[in-house]
Amino acid sequence: MTTVSIREVGPRDGLQNEDPVATEAKIRLLDALSRTGVGRIEAVSFVHPKAIPQMADADEVWAAAWRNPDVRYSALIPNSRGAQRALAAGFREIEVVVSASDTHNRRNLNRSTDESLDDIAQLIPLVHEAGATLEVIVATSFGCPFEGDIDPDRVAGIVARVRADGADRIAFGDTTGMATPRRVRDLLTAVRPDLLHFHNTRGTGLANILTALDLGVTEFDASVGGLGGCPYAPGASGNVATEEVVHMLHDMGIDTGIDLDALLEAAVLAERLVGRPLPSGVLRAGPRTRLV
């Protein structure tokens, strides 16, 4: 049986685009997701509270959260200070973002793409010396809301640079949902990532995942309920909903290790905590096995 690994990003990427949620509520959601069978969770982000106030309580959330020994937890960091905080908190899987689009990188990180790549080159030995791994997420890989199309060769150049510098993993981010199956095929023909992160802004998220599966990618990010977006990119609505991905893959006979019923309970909780309807179709209608 084919197996797909899903990293749940709702606690970080999902909640960072919402009005601030209470620390206790974040812990409840993280704990609920830890009980779904998902193998990886992006738990928090160690960023400056002025930049992303929704993540200001990252240390408190992580200190109080239940840590399932069967789950690999990761944290996103913006720079060496964030890396030091994440390492001190005990994380051994760390992520950093660089945008393929120079304009988006300046909006997101206040520096050019090349400057971010230079910073990442300095981060890698810091992380490795602590016995941790660093994943580089290349945002706007499939297009930029400010610059438009992104040449796959530019993404390939960034990948070549960070691999040469010693990055452990590479992920491609579809930051504002500009990817389509054609764009996925074009990019993955030029260069291959370890993991893909799709948004469903224009309704192509599941189709993009199927295209990537056909090309041999078996690791994806998804967010409970379809939570998420990017505070520095207009129109960057939610990520692909985890329960929609799991529902589709299980019906195809593909194993994810995730209990869909438990995941739907977590999605109901997420919707209640953020206080608004979430966009997941499976959350609304239930799985196909549930009759009206």
The set of catalytic residues is 230
Spatial neighbors of 188 by CB under 8 A, at least 6 apart, are: 212, 215, 217
Task: Give the burial string for 142-157 (b: 16+ CB within 10 Å, else e).
Answer: bbbbbeeebebebbbe
Q: What are the E-state strand segments in 140-208?
A: 169-173, 195-197
Contacts 24+ apart (CB under 8 A), 106-114: 107/146, 107/232, 107/233, 108/139, 108/230, 108/232, 108/233, 109/78, 113/158
Residue 173 to residue 98: CA distance in whole angstroms: 10
